[in-house]
Amino acid sequence: MPTTNDQRPTTLLTIRIGYGWDSHEFKPGIPLLIGGVQLPYDKGLGGHSDGDVLLHALTDALLGSIAAPDIGSLFPPSDPQWKGADSAVFLKEALRRVHAAGYQIVNVDSSLILAAPKIGPHTATIRARVAELLGIPPDCVGIKAKTPEGMGTDNAAIAHSVILLEKKAGKKKNNARPAGKSKKKSARRKR
C-alpha cells in the first residue's frame, strides 16, 4: 500500500466536502467497469488500472475532502504494481484515510457523462456496489447519467463526484455547563 505521508493535518471541522473528476477513453475488447460493476458492452475503459472512471472520481473526492494527496500521487501509473489494478483498492485506501482522519461519509453524489452504453438499467446495481464499498446505505449514493451533447467526447466516459463528510462522534465527555450559563442561553432563546 502507498506510504505517502504528506497529508495536511485535518482540523476537526464538523463537516467537510470533497470533489473528484476523471475521464477514460473507450478501447475495444476490454471489460467495461463502472462503479465496480462490469457492464455488458463491446468496449471498455482504457487506463493503467482497470479504468473504472467512477471509482477514480470517488477516490479523488474522498482524498480531497481531507486534503490528502490525489489518486495519481498515491497510485502513480508509472508504478507497475497498479497495472490492471482493481480500483476498489484505491477507494478503500482513500476511505481508510478518511476514517483515520476522524470522519465518516454522510452521502455521495456522482454524474456520469457518456454516449453509450445506457447506464439507466444498471444504476441500481452500481449504487448498491458503491454503497457496499463505502459502507453506507444505497440511499446515500446518488448516481446520475447524461449524454455528452455537443461536447465531442463520444469515445470517452467522464465522472464527477462530490462527497460530504461529518466528524465521527467521539467518546462522550462531561460537557455539563454551569447552571447559570445554560439559564442565560434559554433566557436568550425566549426573547
Per CB under 5 A, residues contacting Mg ion are: 22, 56
Question: Closest distance between Mg ion and the C-beta of residue 59, in Å?
Answer: 9
- Could you tell me the smallest distance in angstroms from the CB atom of residue 16 to Mg ion? 23
**Complex with Mg ion: residue 101 or 162, whichever CB lies closer:** 162
Left if phi > 0, otherwise alpha if psi is -120 to 50, otherwise beta: which for 135? left
Cell of 104: 465518516
Whether a cis peptide bond, with omega within 30° of 0, leads into 121 is: no
Residue with Cβ nearer Mg ion (77 or 121): 77
How would you classify the pairing of strands 43-45 and 156-167? unpaired
CA distance 119 to 32: 12
**What is the crossing angle of helices 53-65 and 123-134, to 10°?**
40
Residue 66 or 156: the one with the smaller Cβ distance to Mg ion is: 156
Residue 8 Cβ, how far from Mg ion at the closest point, in Å?
Answer: 23
22/93 with CB nearer Mg ion: 22
Output the smallest distance, CB 52 to Mg ion, in A: 8
Closest residue to Mg ion in the complex (CB) = 56
